[in-house]
Structures are given as structure tokens and as C-alpha cells.
Structure 1
Amino acid sequence: MRLIKNPEERRNEILNAAEILFVTKGYTKATVMDILQACNIAKGTFYYYFQSKEEVMNAIVMRYILNGESAARRIVSDPELSAHDKIFRIITAQNQPDDRKHGLIEQLHHVQNVEMHQKSLVETVIRLSPILAEVVEQGIQEGVFNTPSPKESIEFLLVSSQFLLDQGIFQWEEEELRKKVETFSHIMERVLGAKQGSFAYFTRLHFPHQA
């Protein structure tokens, strides 16, 4: 008897199989046929959920972004945490070690996938900006931040960090990256009107072995 799966389960099954293929075989080399064989599904089933391999990749990336957004919202909803605690935990949650995620990001860094990579960066900024802006507003109430434009400040900080600190784009040497991260910590303090040294944990998060 053929097992009938609910649509969400089947969709995630396709995404999981495709993600493994994209990481192990490479996005460019992996084909729709590879995905069909990995899932043991018919071509019609695949095209019921996705129109192309590109759409599958976009869905996988979006799933990571949505998971990151959900994690950030859970942290922000905790009334026991201070603004700095929330920012620390949100950054930590977004940078959890994950070999498959790292492998997927490596695929996005390939020149032929640049448009997809740009879309993922834009989506990340759009979804995290209002959440982090809420944290900044809390920090203003706590007296640890002082900025007239929380959302706009966060947007500029997110865009600059997502781009300049992306090793797949710039491939900085470790010392170069460390200096940029330290400088970014100082910029965060100035933009958000925070006490000098209060964002030192941003550098420690990127270089825990040097803490």
C-alpha cells in the first residue's frame, strides 16, 4: 500500500533531500532528477510543489531565515532579559554551528548564485530589523541606548554587517576580520548611543578562542 504523506511533510522531505544534495554534490551539479531519486518520488510530485531547482534552493534558504526569525522572536518575548542580553542571544542564535547551513551558504557564494545570495541577505535584513528595533527601543527605556531612529539604525547596522563581515564575499585574513569586527562593535556603540565597551561581546562571539 502506497504511503500518502501530508503536503507539508512531503514538501519538507523534498527540501531536506535537496539540501543534502546541494551541499554534497553542489547546487550547480545537482539536478531535479537527483532530487527525485533521493526522495523516490515521481516528476509530477516534484512539480506539484516546486517549479524549478532554483525555487527549491530559495525555499531552503527561506526556511533557515524563518527559523532565525522565530528564534529571535522567542528571545525578544522573554520579559526577564535586558536589551543587551537579547541582542547577545539573537546574535548567538543566528550563528549556531551547522555544517549543512555552512555548506549551503558556500553554495550561495558561487558567482552563478549571486542573485539568490543577495535575495537572502535582503530577506534577512527585512525580517530581523523590526525585531532588533524593538530591542533597541527597550534599551532606550532602560537607559543603555540613545538613538532617535531605532529601526533605521538597525537597518544600517544589519546591512553593513551582513555584507562586510561575510567571509564568502570578502575572504578577509583572520587579523583583518578581527579588526573589522572590533571596529563594527565601536560603530554599534556610537550609532545606538551605547556606553563605550558595552558591545565588546560582539567581538568575543566572533573570536571566542581569543576571549
Structure 2
Amino acid sequence: MRISKEAEERRNEILDKAEMLFFTKGYARTTVNDILQEIGIAKGTFYYYFKSKEEVMEAVVTRFIDAGVDVAKIIAADSKLSVHEKLLQIIMAQKPDSERKGHMIEQFHQAENALIHQKSLAETILKLTPVLTEVIEQGIEESLFHCPYPKETMEFLLVASQFLLDEGIFKWQPEEIILKIQSFIYIMETMLGAEKGSFSYVAQMFE
């Protein structure tokens, strides 16, 4: 058990230092040697945990996504919150809450990181859908929503919000973004069979 814990600590140390370098130097300009020098480990130690710099970046992204999903799970399980309070807090919890996280998202939008960005979008949708579905099902039980396909509906809504409204993929004009957010809220309320105007707070997600 002790060896396993030490291995996990070493892996996280590599991820911490790599994330810092991606933040300060940029992913493209960071090399494996930069990471080795920052931590002070041999190349063999690095390759014991990761096959490449790309794999490190994927692990950093997964850790980033998992942190948001873990927060979402805590919010979804909070019986003191209403359905709409849960949805708002889960949505807001996915937004970058620090300069470092914001910069990491900027790194995803670099052309050379397109594949990693695509994987991060897919991973976010796959991991966040079950959590949001649980909240939507609560809303159905409370007659707030009338939707026969809660899981599939959330998948479509997440794809729309994660892809179509991603400013790193589409360079929409400000007025176009406003219209798309308004239409997204309309589509969300329609697909979930919710009362008109009940999802107006979703606009905060894109501020």
C-alpha cells in the first residue's frame, strides 16, 4: 500500500510541475526535459509514469475535468438545494475559477492541441452527463420537468454547450453569442418540458 501511495504522489508531482510549465511557458514550448529539470528526476522515472508529453497533458486535462465533476457530485447530493440551485451551481462549478485554469483552457484552443481539446470535450460530456441526469430526474419527480429521455437530452444539451458555444472553436460575434445563448435556453426549456423562463439563469454560464 505504501509503495502505491508513493507512486501516486510521484505521478501527481509530475502532473503539478508539468501543469505549471504548460501555464508559464505554454504547452507547445514545454519539453519533457523541461519537466525533468523542474522536478529533478531521471528520464526513466518519467517514462515509467508517462509515455510522452501528450500523455501528461491528457492526464492534466483529466484531473482538471475530474475536479469539476467531483464538485458537481457533491452539489447533486446536497438535499438542501433545490433542483435549479443544483443545476446553477453545477454549471458555475465548471467555469475556470483561477488564472491557471483559464490559461489551461486557452492551451486547449491552440491548433496543435486540437485532438486533446476534442478528447476533453468528450470526457466532460461522458462524466458530467450522469450527474446532471440525476438532478433532472429529481426535477421530473417534482414535476418541474416533463422529459421522457433525461439522459439523452442532457447529452445533446452538453454537446451544444461544450461545442457550439465554445469560443475557442467558433469565433462568434458578441451579438451572435447573445442570440445563441437565448436560443440555447429556449431549447433547454423545450426539451426538458420546463416552465418558460425557468432556465434564464443559464446565461450566467457564459458571462
2:17–2:39 contact (8 Å) kept in structure 1: yes
Does residue 130 of structure 1 match 2:130? yes
After superposition, the C-alpha distances for 1:116-155 in whole angstroms (9 at most, x for unaligned) are: 1111111110011111111111001111111000000000
1:183 deviation in Å?
1.4
| Structure 1 ranges of 4+ moved more than 4 A | none
Question: For 1:115-194, what aligned pairs fall within 5 Å after superposition?
Answer: 115-194=115-194
2:139–2:145 contact (8 Å) kept in structure 1: yes
Name the SS for the 1:168 alignment partner: coil
Residues 177, 127 of structure 1: alpha-carbon distance in 2 compared, 3 angstrom cutoff: same
2:136–2:150 contact (8 Å) kept in structure 1: yes
2:61–2:120 contact (8 Å) kept in structure 1: yes
1:82 deviation in Å?
1.6
Question: Which position in structure 2 is the counterpart of 1:27?
Answer: 27
Question: Which position in structure 2 is the counterpart of 1:83?
Answer: 83
Provide the C-alpha distance between the structure 1 equivalents of 2:34 and 2:146, rounded to a whole number of angstroms. 53
Provide the C-alpha distance between the structure 1 equivalents of 2:28 and 2:132, rounded to a whole number of angstroms. 35
TM normalised by structure 2 equals 0.94
Letter in structure 2 aligned against 1:7: A
RMSD of aligned Cα (Å):
1.3
2:96–2:102 contact (8 Å) kept in structure 1: no
TM normalised by structure 1 equals 0.92
Question: Which position in structure 1 is the counterpart of 2:6?
Answer: 6
Provide the C-alpha distance between the structure 2 equivalents of 1:105 and 1:92, rounded to a whole number of angstroms. 15
Question: Which position in structure 1 is the counterpart of 2:97?
Answer: 97
Name the SS for the 1:198 alignment partner: coil
After superposition, the C-alpha distances for 1:58-77 in whole angstroms (9 at most, x for unaligned) are: 00000011111111110111
Identify unmatched segments of 5+ residues in structure 1: none
After superposition, the C-alpha distances for 1:87-137 in whole angstroms (9 at most, x for unaligned) are: 011001111422111211211112221111111111110011111111111
Letter in structure 2 aligned against 1:37: Q
Letter in structure 2 aligned against 1:186: Y
Provide the C-alpha distance between the structure 2 equivalents of 1:50 and 1:194, rounded to a whole number of angstroms. 46
Name the SS for the 2:145 alignment partner: coil
Letter in structure 2 aligned against 1:199: F
Provide the C-alpha distance between the structure 2 equivalents of 1:99 and 1:10, rounded to a whole number of angstroms. 25
Identify unmatched segments of 5+ residues in structure 2: none
Provide the C-alpha distance between the structure 2 equivalents of 1:111 and 1:30, rounded to a whole number of angstroms. 16
Q: Identity of aligned pairs, percent?
A: 56
Letter in structure 2 aligned against 1:132: L
1:25 deviation in Å?
1.3
1:42 deviation in Å?
1.3
After superposition, the C-alpha distances for 1:7-47 in whole angstroms (9 at most, x for unaligned) are: 22211111111111112212111100000011111111111
